[in-house]
């Protein structure tokens, strides 16, 4: 899988997820085999450019592998300027968000709302591609709703504009995350253009990863929600794609060690106060592998106010778990 002049190590990519795909999580997923990890979306509006939260979203200091920043907006010039700004800050690939279905994004005609205006799509893509000398990629959905699927048309525009690769989430904006991904639509898009196509949507196991590649003919796959609390999915998928063999599920000790290491990286990245708060959702996702722990234990962990207290409570919870296969759900 190539993006411009860059050769990825494999066919697996971590999706850009708001509030999740920060540097600690990107690094963790790369450690377990993601060939590329895309940053959280960054607004192109210059008024937010120097905001602390915006800068953290695109913070790549010390990050290994290819650095890819996703930008969001509707104004071609602002998007071009945002691409240049992030390239100057170290981005090696710029990804354009035209796939986010969130109401607050679509209400300002950004994200997947742009799919309703193919003329504006072309203007944005032309402006961004011409603004930087690094590869530009695009992420879209199959259309605005079930009656206006235009992914094939958008893919053609992207190819004409010089976009280096296209990620397609197999749902319309109206579908949000409901129903099933449209792999046939992804297959049609792949057959319609020459640029690399990355399939996204409902890829939640190693077997599904290989099946989607074969079903759609895509050049790579993008994994999002299924990686939450489950970075091992990348190593499992890599192994199964390459050999057809499944890796054993991680042990309880492995899950505990990975979680604690992840939390320590969050504390270092955000600071103790914000780190503890942001860690709570990740803790919940890791614990989803197990039979429900007591509400008292969950409450205590969520009410922890400093890193040491949070870690002690997590280790205490793990001390009550065993390696018995029945102790946690299938990954």
Could you say which of 243, 264, 288 is where a domain stops? Answer: 243
Could you say which of 212, 243, 274 is where a domain stops? Answer: 243
Q: Are residues 161 and 60 in the same domain?
A: yes
Q: Are residues 257 and 152 in the same domain?
A: no
Domain harbouring 166, CATH code: 3.20.20.70
Q: Are residues 90 and 209 in the same domain?
A: yes
In this structure, are residues 23 and 59 in contact, taking their beta carbons and an 8 Å threshold? Answer: yes
Q: Are residues 138 and 275 in the same domain?
A: no
Tokens of 283: 């803790």
Q: Are residues 168 and 301 in the same domain?
A: no
Question: pLDDT 10s per residue in the chain (331 long)?
Answer: 899 999 999 999 999 999 999 999 999 999 999 999 999 998 888 777 777 787 888 788 889 999 999 999 999 999 999 999 999 999 999 999 997 655 555 445 566 788 889 999 999 999 999 999 999 999 999 887 667 789 999 999 999 999 999 999 988 766 767 777 899 999 999 999 999 999 999 999 999 999 999 999 999 999 999 999 999 999 999 999 999 999 988 999 999 999 999 999 999 999 999 999 999 999 999 998 887 778 888 899 999 999 999 999 999 999 877 544 444 544 3
CA 248 to centroid of chain Cα atoms: 24
Q: Are residues 127 and 212 in the same domain?
A: yes
Q: Are residues 271 and 175 in the same domain?
A: no
φ/ψ region of 205 (left if φ > 0, alpha if ψ in -120 to 50, else beta) reads: beta
Tell me which residue range forms the domain holding 76. Answer: 2-243
Q: How many domains are contained in the chain? A: 2
Q: Where in the sequence numbering do the catalytic residues fall?
A: 100
Q: Are residues 192 and 271 in the same domain?
A: no
Q: Where are the alpha helices (DSSP H) in the chain?
A: 23-31, 52-57, 76-88, 103-106, 118-131, 151-161, 183-192, 206-216, 232-243, 252-270, 272-287, 295-303, 307-318
Q: Are residues 278 and 204 in the same domain?
A: no
Could you say which of 179, 212, 243 is where a domain stops? Answer: 243
């Amino acid at each position: 899988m190539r993006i411009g002049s860059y050769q990825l190590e494999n066919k697996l990519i971590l999706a850009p997820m708001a509030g999740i795909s920060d540097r600690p999580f990107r690094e963790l997923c790369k450690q377990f085999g993601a060939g590329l990890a895309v940053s959280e979306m960054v607004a192109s509006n210059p008024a937010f450019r120097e905001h602390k939260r915006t800068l953290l979203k695109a913070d790549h200091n010390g990050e290994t592998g290819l650095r890819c920043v996703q930008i969001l907006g509707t104004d071609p010039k602002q998007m071009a300027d945002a691409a240049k700004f992030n390239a100057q800050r170290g981005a090696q690939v710029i990804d354009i968000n035209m796939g986010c279905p969130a109401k607050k994004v679509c209400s300002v005609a950004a994200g997947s709302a742009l799919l309703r205006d193919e003329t504006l799509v072309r203007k944005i893509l032309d402006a961004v591609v011409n603004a930087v000398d690094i590869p530009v990629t695009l992420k879209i959905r199959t259309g605005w709703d079930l009656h206006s699927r235009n992914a094939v048309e958008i893919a053609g525009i992207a190819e004409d504009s010089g976009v280096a690769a296209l990620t397609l989430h197999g749902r319309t904006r109206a579908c949000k995350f409901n129903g099933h991904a449209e792999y046939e639509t992804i297959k049609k898009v792949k057959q319609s253009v020459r640029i690399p196509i990355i399939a996204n949507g409902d890829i939640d196991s190693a077997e599904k990863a290989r099946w989607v590649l074969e079903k759609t003919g895509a050049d790579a796959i993008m994994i999002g929600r299924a990686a939450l609390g489950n970075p091992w999915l990348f190593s499992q998928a890599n192994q199964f794609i390459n050999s057809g063999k499944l890796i054993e599920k991680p042990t309880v000790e492995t899950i505990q060690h990975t979680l604690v290491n992840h939390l320590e990286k969050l504390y270092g990245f955000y600071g103790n106060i914000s780190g503890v708060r942001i860690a709570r959702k990740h803790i919940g996702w890791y614990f989803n592998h197990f039979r429900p722990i007591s509400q008292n234990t969950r409450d205590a962990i969520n009410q922890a106010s400093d890193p040491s207290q949070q870690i002690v409570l997590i280790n205490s919870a793990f001390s009550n778990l065993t390696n018995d296969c029945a102790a946690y759900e299938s990954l």
